[in-house]
Structure 1
């Protein structure tokens, strides 16, 4: 369903245990960036009604999630602040082809993979935190469905620009690269490190 070619490691969960505050701050930034990505896609493909309609829904949901994470930060007295960026998004975006319609396909599929990885990590967090922090575990469990829906929406919208077969082949290629990026890891403690 999520088209991921790797699973997150227990090493990442160890980072979560040691630096949950950093993960929560990064999560807020991820939601804000996801809304921005959807807005950029809507701007780039304004003439495509399906994209503008779906991006409006995603923007609203991502901003709602952003505010939910900010509330969690406030409840825990964690100051929301800037963070250095992990290379995950930058490396994925470097794979986007430069000419249309390939660019549109890649932009949508890259967004889909980021949503898929978030979905996978939220599910892991929900199970991992269940016995220690039921409220936070429940929050992460509640996000699974919308993140999975965003993933499938982006994949479906890529088919506005290429056939299903072409989209699935490219998704497999990008997913393999995404797995390599995740495997390389990052010293920064982030949702996608």
Structure 2
């Protein structure tokens, strides 16, 4: 069968991600996640993941784009909804109307590559969060918090404690989380209903870019080649994905039992 342009595009997007990840999502996870009785749980966890991704990027902006004594200036995530990221100019500008407090933040923020990429990522993750909530509301699924899987903490426990090693490790972890999300969206989409299939496929472009942005930033911040750390976290990530998990989550391992 001849490939469509869309199929070819996504194959090209996913190829480097498959190469980057040290293992594919186990078939047992797909088999459980595709079952209708788990759909509500996965959508709630997906919404939580989008919000956590935005919060993690916000934390990076706060820590690495503001001097320590000015970090209190950066407000909550609503701040980013009134920003426009212009990556081609490597700066972040406000819209036409800014509050005095927002202007102070703009004046203090260090305009660097991390800021530009993280602001764009935060805006997209918040948009995805709202999209998931809309889908849930239409299906009568109540939004709630869930216990987290051991995935993110299992990676973060290996972060080094000195700089710039700490930020390099966090950025590499961000790359793996985004890459795994992208891979799972692609693997799970064909097993879902038409609306969710289209939605998950629509996320592939942004998730693939997030992975590459994180990896590029890690290389920029490091004072040495990051290949060894990338391989280290790739091995840890694969261990978590292939190990048994008692609960099903978007980044959980093989379903236990």
TM range, smaller chain: over 0.9
Map residues 101-140 of structure 1 onto 2, 5 A cutoff. Answer: 101-129=164-192, 133-140=193-200
- Larger relative contact order (C-alpha < 8 A, sep ≥ 6)? 1
Q: Secondary structure at the match of 1:19?
A: helix
Partners of 2:56 and 2:119 lie apart in 1 by 11
1:125-147 deviation digits (Å, cap 9, x = unpaired)? 11222xxx111111000101100
Per the alignment, residue 145 of structure 1 pairs with 205
Partners of 1:72 and 1:186 lie apart in 2 by 27
Per the alignment, residue 228 of structure 2 pairs with 169
Taking structure 1 as the reference length, the TM-score comes to: 0.94
Matched, 1:42 2:61: yes
Partners of 1:100 and 1:185 lie apart in 2 by 34
Per the alignment, residue 247 of structure 2 pairs with 188
| Superposed CA RMSD | 1.2
1:50-75 deviation digits (Å, cap 9, x = unpaired)? 11111100000000000000001101
Shift in Å, 1:14: 2.3
Partners of 1:128 and 1:144 lie apart in 2 by 16
Partners of 2:31 and 2:42 lie apart in 1 by 12
Gaps of 5+ in 2: 1-15, 66-109, 253-257
Q: Secondary structure at the match of 1:81?
A: coil
Partners of 1:52 and 1:84 lie apart in 2 by 30
Q: State the 4+ residue runs in structure 1 displaced beyond 4 angstroms.
A: none
Specify the structure having the higher radius of gyration (Cα). Answer: 2
Per the alignment, residue 71 of structure 1 pairs with 134
Per the alignment, residue 93 of structure 1 pairs with 156
How many residues end up aligned between the 2 structures? 189
Per the alignment, residue 219 of structure 2 pairs with 159
Shift in Å, 1:189: 1.2
Partners of 2:244 and 2:234 lie apart in 1 by 16
Partners of 1:134 and 1:171 lie apart in 2 by 36
Partners of 1:147 and 1:140 lie apart in 2 by 10
